[in-house]
């Protein structure tokens, strides 16, 4: 079995939501799909948390202080002189 990716898990989760929202699944199948969706949701949340921690490590300064800065693209960043 291939290793699960965040993108694949999100796609599967979206499919499950659509199935459940359709109201066409029998109760047993709906419960099974709901359980699968919950597992996928937990996986995605865990991956996002891990990624957030990695990003925080990457933006620490030399003293270990993490500073938060808003993300701007080149078109909207007033301090970016390359526009």
pTM recorded for the entire structure: 0.67
Q: Is residue 16 part of a domain?
A: yes
**Which residue in the block uniquely carries the two structure tokens 């991956």?**
47
CA distance 31 to 37: 10
Residue-level pLDDT at 82: 42
Give backbone dihedrals phi and psi of 60, rounded to 5 degrees, phi first.
-70, 145
Average pLDDT on 41-50 reads 94
Give backbone dihedrals phi and psi of 66, rounded to 5 degrees, phi first.
-95, 130
The more confidently predicted of residues 74 and 48 is 48
How does pLDDT run across 62-81, given as a tens digit for each residue?
Answer: 777 777 665 554 454 455 44
Q: Is residue 59 part of a domain?
A: yes
Q: Is residue 82 part of a domain?
A: no
- DSSP annotation of 79 reads T
Which domain does 44 fall in, by range? 1-77
Q: Which residues pair with residue 66 across a beta bridge?
A: 60
- Quote the number of domains for the chain: 1
How does pLDDT run across 6-45, given as a tens digit for each residue?
Answer: 999 999 999 999 999 999 999 999 999 999 999 999 999 9
> Looking at residue 52, which CATH number applies to its domain?
1.10.287
């Amino acid at each position: 079995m291939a290793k699960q990716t965040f993108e694949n898990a999100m796609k599967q989760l979206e499919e499950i939501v659509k199935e459940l929202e359709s109201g066409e699944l029998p109760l047993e199948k709906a419960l099974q799909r709901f359980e699968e969706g919950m597992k996928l949701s937990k996986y995605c949340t865990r991956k996002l948390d891990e990624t957030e921690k990695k990003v925080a490590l990457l933006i620490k300064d030399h003293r270990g202080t993490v500073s938060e800065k808003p993300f701007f693209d080149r078109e909207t960043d007033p301090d970016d002189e390359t526009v």
